[in-house]
Amino acid sequence: MATASSAKKIKKTSKLGPILINGSLLLLILIWLLPTFALLVSSFRTRFDIQTSGWWSIVPHRAWMTDRVIDPDPNWDRDGVMNIEGAQGTFEEFRNGITLDNGTRVFWIGNKRIGKVEIQAYKWTSNFNFTLENYGQVLGGKTFEVRQPDGTIKTEQADNFVGAFLNSLTVTIPSTLIPILIAAFAAYGFAWMRFSGRRVLFVMVVALLVVPLQIALVPILQDYVRLNLNGTFLGIWLAHTGFGLPLATYLLFNYIRGLPRDILESAFIDGASHFTIFVRLILPLSVPALASFAIFQFLWTWNDYLVALIFIGAKPDVQVLTMRLAEMVGSRGNDWHLLTAGAFVSMVLPLVVFFSLQRFFVRGLLAGSVKG
Amino acid sequence: MQRSSEKPRQPGGPVQWLSVNAIGLFTALAIPLATFLVLYWGFFFLRDSDAPKIVIAIVAIVWGVGGVAALYLVANSLVDRLGDTWRARIQPFIFVGPAVAILLWYLAVPSLRTLWISLLDRNGVDFVGLSNYIAVFTTRNMFTAFRNNILWILFGATASVIFGLLVAILADRSRFENIAKSVIFMPMAISMVGAGVIWNMMYEVNPNVGLLNAIYTGVTGNNPVAWKAAAEIAPWNNLFLIVVMVWLQSGFAMVLFSAAIKGIPGEILEAGRVDGATEIQVFFRIMIPYIMGTIITVSTTIIIFSLKIFDVVQVMTGGQFGTQVIATQYYREYFTNQNAGFGSAIAIVLLITVIPVMIYNLRQLNDQEAF
Amino acid sequence: MNRKFAPLFVLLLVASLLLAACPAATPTAEPAAEPAAEEAAPTAEVAEEAEAAPTAAAAEEDAHPGEEAAMAKGLTELAAAYHGDYEGTIVTMTGPFTDEDAVKFDNSMAAFEEATGIDIQYEGSKEFEASITVRVQAGDAPDIVDFPQPGLLGTFAKQGKVVPATVMIPEAWLAENYLQSWLDMATMEGPDGPAQYGVWQRFNAKSLVWYPKASFDAAGYPIPTTWEELQALQDMIVSDGDTPWCVGIESGAATGWAATDWTEEFMLRTTSLENYDAWVLGELPFESPEVKNAIESFATIWNDDSMVSGGRAAIVTTFFGDAPTGMFQDPPTCWLHKQGNFITSFFPEGTEYGVDYGVFYLPGIDAEYGSPFLVAGDIMAAMTDRPEVRAVMQFFSTGEGVKGWLAAGGALGPQKDVQLDWYGSDLERDIAGLVNNATSVRFDGSDLMPGEVGAGSFWKGMTDYFSGAADLDTVLAEIDASWPR
């Protein structure tokens, strides 16, 4: 790295720096954006369009477009050579399309019995057939028409998503804040306090990172049944707290441990207690780490399905947004085009959280506190 | 939460302190008692209430967050009245105690229970010794799962860390920082079901619908390939699932790296630049060492994510076509096949794989000096 | 700072809690959901208590006609329910169906709930397997569970978590209202030997071939009634330049299940019922010539690129719900699709039975084995035993219990007292007619096999074989090896 020649090279390219940086960033952004963009486009398309054509077909492109359709003459020799509109070929050749010199194509659609012949031209086109219907169903709830035994048809409107949205919020906010607070204390304890069992307990925290939460479902639900906590919001907050704590503690530990030692030392010299240092110094300094964990925990609890299903259930009055979305797809999984719109609806709030917490990722929190 | 708070409230060396003042004693007892009662009452309110959701949510936030904070405050004020020796002994447990108690309840004890069940038969009744473990290490399905998890770590974890770091660093110097970071982060916000829909569409065999096959057939003229399922590209069909994970998880790494980079004091960077270091030297000599701790943390976390990867595989292939991983096998054995013993053994093996990571992090802890 | 701050904080906390609670405290009478499930009081007590209050109210009204009918069938609890004895009780239910099916279910229960005052709370989820396993093991099971696969119910039955149906419903009535084969399919190994666990509430017919009726008529294709006619039709379509069959077995985590249906159809058509039953029980191995022959007899169609739309390669990668779309293109690209009656929900919107599509029975191959019919269905099993739960279970054992759903469409009723005119659409009525014409009815074998096979190696093996990843012998040996013994 430090050889003279490479240093020189770097010097030279450093003028290109901003371009290089923004260029590669742009490339990454485009790659990352592609699937999301595809999802966005698809969320405005009908089920039929999604099934039969790619989302990129909304971009104007050249394709074979039908000019006119003619009914095949029953007398044509379908097993031999046919002459249609100046094109000559067998049935198989027409099925693949025969292109004429004038740029049109003669195309046989269907089989020999009930087919039709299309005369096509290669033209600019775009599949710009957008609908808001998907969003309407996701936001407003599906409409079901149920035939009654007496023959009448009863229309039932499923709940709109507001209830589920509120449920999700009720689950998510405490499930995000509680573990952060508990983990911050624990992280400070592990990082800057001396006590017996520190090592054992810390290893336990790291080891528990890998525990798949599925193994905890049965015993915890057993306890909840005993405590009458099953089906309550309190139960699910505690569950999310428990499942989120290892990561929260671990991430915050590593951040708090990395804070400059001399800050704490000088505070101790000034006679501050651990508690004061934690509240006055550590918490404010850890805001970026707290904010980033808050984002993750929020996302995970927001997008969680299984924990909510087990501990609060799927009844309409308590079900969270993810369950509504999963149900959107229909009893047989036949309405999956609604998922594209649903995914966007459920994305809005996490993004708002991200944007509002992003401002905490700023340089200079430690500025002035470090010498040199 | 109450349960954990009781631990630090042991009386210790209180005799001399008791005589100091009675008012102190009163507050010392009344405040914790009041706190406890309020929290206790809140517990039942939250458990049993069918008040409007918004009310519950607000109470919940006050109760949950405020209550936790109050417990810490009260516990600490109690400990503060103790002598120095006792304070030094007890105070750490006020800090770590609640977290440890919750972890014990929610994860450690269930893990021990799983360990026990892993020694039992499929109905969780008869003791069968280690035969479930023997089965774990001798079935072909499990071999494939182990191999796939290694692929996930080698490619998925590495790529997530590299992309996350790259974006964090590039964005830090770009005027478009917020846009760039938001875009990379966005996939994390998409629910797994949504991600599944879009990536399944990407990999769709029909070139009219699947972008990858549209490009592939357009460029090479070959027949479309079933990227997730094709036996002829196995085991590399796993890579197509890994891409989904990288797409989803790089945002995680990026956010943490970004926070760490922001934590580098500007003065240090300036000093480096003033000393004539090039940007790349600043990067390797100052930034990387400074955020090394974060790099290790993020890598550890993402490796563990890759070890217990579940959602992506379940949504994309359900573990078919040779894409099963340890966690999907656990799910399949425990829930689909109702084989409690075998499923639990798989979960325990998953736990064992984390030992090297634990040892490494323990060393980190030993390097750390505490007060 | 702490000492000053702490009391203040607690005070604030108390105040805010009280404030927040005030508006809520008044309407909160008692947590409604818990007591019914928790108390599990002895039968007599609940009955007494319930009787004391509402009888007076109930007596004022005319007796519900259901009461007498239930009495006549010996369904004591159901009669008592119609009498109003269980008014105000709650029966919790869970199952895998959501969305439209949940609406249909709620609708079909509405009349019963109104007449009896029993509140049936149904909760469906997409992660049914995991959630019911966790709930049952943790002791949080609902009162009644709708199992789409009897195999899972069998596991719980063995663990003694299920109340046998014969405890809740008079055996004589069950025998009267169900074909013996349905009762046999509900008989499972319990802790005290085999018993009948659960009652069949509704079922789906599988041995159906769908075709695009309008195009079929235009092309002049005949509807086949025998295997030979079906083969002639296949050849006719091939010679006209099309592929006859639309086949797709992709289904995410469950890829391959559609192929197991075909295997079962051909097992029923190429070998005896005894062999089919033995195969389902694991007594006849997959490697046996009978099973191999059954698979090969439809593999000759599947492996023939001219027979299947998109060719063999497309089978494994085509989503089962997308497979029939080729039939509805104009003109169709494929003409025949074998699938259960639920597939109509995947047909394009606006298509109509009898106009755009039709259905015929997949004919038998060998006269010796008659015309068998493959079905799948939902079995209701009780996890708790309370009088109102009994009443609901007894209700499910009657045709009335599924009547609302039949009207709404999408299901068939296995109960003998189901009337054909209850079906809300010609489609289900016609299918019920086809089932009635069958010489034998058998349940979807893969649903009866242990999870390792029926929801695992069997799916995977079929997928591997048709994707070309392994040959048939290897696949069959692997399926046999996975059978838990």
pLDDT in tens, A343-371: 888 888 888 888 888 777 665 554 434 33
Percent of chain B exceeding pLDDT 70 equals 87
Burial class (CB in 10 A: 0-12, 13-18, 19+), B20: exposed
Q: Which of A154, A26, C57, A301 is nearest to B177 (CA)?
A: A26
Name residue, tokens 């590593």: A254
Q: Closest Cα of chain B to A147: distance in Å?
A: 31
All domains of chain C in start order, with CATH: 33-204+378-423 (3.40.190.10), 205-376+432-482 (3.40.190.10)
Q: Based on C-alpha coordinates, what's the Rg of chain A?
A: 31
- Give the ipTM: 0.82
Confidence of residue B232 (pLDDT cuts 50, 70, 90): confident
In this prediction, residues A323-341 reach a mean pLDDT of 78
Tally: H helices and E strands in chain C = 25, 11
Strand C144-147 to C357-361 pairing = unpaired
Contact status of C481 with chain A (Cβ, < 8 Å): no
**Minimum Cα–Cα distance from A40: chain B residue:** B198
pLDDT of residue A125: 80
Residues 266-325 of B with CB under 8 A from A: 266-268, 271, 278-281, 284, 293-294, 296-297, 300-301, 304, 307-308, 310
pLDDT of residue B91: 81
Contact status of B233 with chain A (Cβ, < 8 Å): no
A254 and A179 in one domain? yes
Round the average pLDDT of chain A to a whole number and report it: 82
- Could you tell me if residue B339 is inside a domain? yes
Count of alpha carbons within 13 angstroms of residue A265, beta-carbon side? 6
Choose from A12, A172, A181 for mutation: most chain B CBs within 10 A. Answer: A181
**DSSP H helical segments within B49-191, as ranges?**
53-61, 67-80, 84-103, 109-117, 131-138, 140-151, 158-172, 177-189
CB-CB neighbors (< 8 A) of A137 in chain C? none
CA angle, B217 as apex, B247 and C459 as ends, to 5°? Answer: 65
Name residue, tokens 């709830």: A141
| Residues B73, C256: C-beta atoms closer than 8 Å | no
The residue with greater pLDDT, B108 or B63, is: B108
The answer to which of C23-37, C39-53, C269-283, C457-471 has the lowest mean pLDDT is C23-37
- Could you tell me if residue B123 is inside a domain? no
DSSP state letter for B308: T
Torsion angles phi and psi, residue A147, rounded to 5: -80, 130
Confidence of residue C40 (pLDDT cuts 50, 70, 90): very low
Q: Which residues have a Cβ under 8 Å from the Cβ of C238 and sit 6 or more positions away?
A: C244, C306, C307
A348 and A278 in one domain? yes
| Residues B62, C464: C-beta atoms closer than 8 Å | no
Q: What amino acid occupies position C31?
A: P
A265 and A349 in one domain? yes
Report the C-alpha gap between B237 and B255 in whole angstroms.
29
B148 and B80 in one domain? no
- Could you tell me if residue A85 is inside a domain? yes
| Residues B70, C13: C-beta atoms closer than 8 Å | yes
pLDDT tens, position by position, A16-40:
577 888 888 899 999 999 998 888 8
Contact partners for chain A, using 3 or more CB pairs closer than 8 A, are B, C
Q: What amino acid occupies position A115?
A: G
What DSSP string runs through C134-202? HHHHHT---SEEEES-HHHHHHHHHTT-SB-HHHHS-HHHHHHHS-HHHHHHTEEEETTEEEE--EEEE
- Could you tell me if residue A297 is inside a domain? yes
- Measure CB to CB from residue C254 to each of B205, B318, B334 and give the nearest one: B318
Report the C-alpha gap between B263 and A288 in whole angstroms.
8
Q: State the CB neighbour count (10 A cutoff) for residue C40.
A: 10
**Minimum Cα–Cα distance from A93: chain C residue:** C241
DSSP state letter for B178: H
Contact status of C419 with chain A (Cβ, < 8 Å): no
DSSP state letter for C346: G
Residues 335-354 of B with CB under 8 A from A: 335, 344, 347, 350-351, 353-354
Domain total in chain B: 2
Domain total in chain A: 3
pLDDT tens, position by position, B16-46:
544 445 665 566 667 667 767 777 777 777 6
Q: Which of A21, A269, B206 is nearest to C250 (CA)?
A: B206
Q: What amino acid occupies position C261?
A: D
pTM: 0.83
pLDDT of residue C381: 94
What DSSP string runs through C40-78? ---HHHHHHHHHHTHHHHHHHSPPPHHHHHHHHTT-HHH
**Which domain covers residue A207, as residue numbers?**
162-358
**DSSP H helical segments within C271-378, as ranges?**
273-281, 289-302, 312-317
CB-CB neighbors (< 8 A) of B183 in chain A? 29, 32-33, 36
Report the C-alpha gap between B58 and A233 in whole angstroms.
12
B150 and B99 in one domain? no
Report the C-alpha gap between B237 and B231 in whole angstroms.
8
Name residue, tokens 């009337």: C419
DSSP state letter for C220: T
A47 and A37 in one domain? yes
Q: What amino acid occupies position A242?
A: G
B242 and B288 in one domain? yes
CB-CB neighbors (< 8 A) of C100 in chain A? 142, 144, 330-331
- Could you tell me if residue B122 is inside a domain? no
Report the C-alpha gap between B266 and B285 in whole angstroms.
15
B112 and B139 in one domain? no
pLDDT tens, position by position, C125-163:
878 888 898 899 888 899 999 998 888 888 889 888 999
B335 and B226 in one domain? yes
Query: What is the enclosing helix (H) or strand (E) of A293?
Result: helix A287-303
B314 and B185 in one domain? yes
Report the C-alpha gap between A331 and C409 in whole angstroms.
13
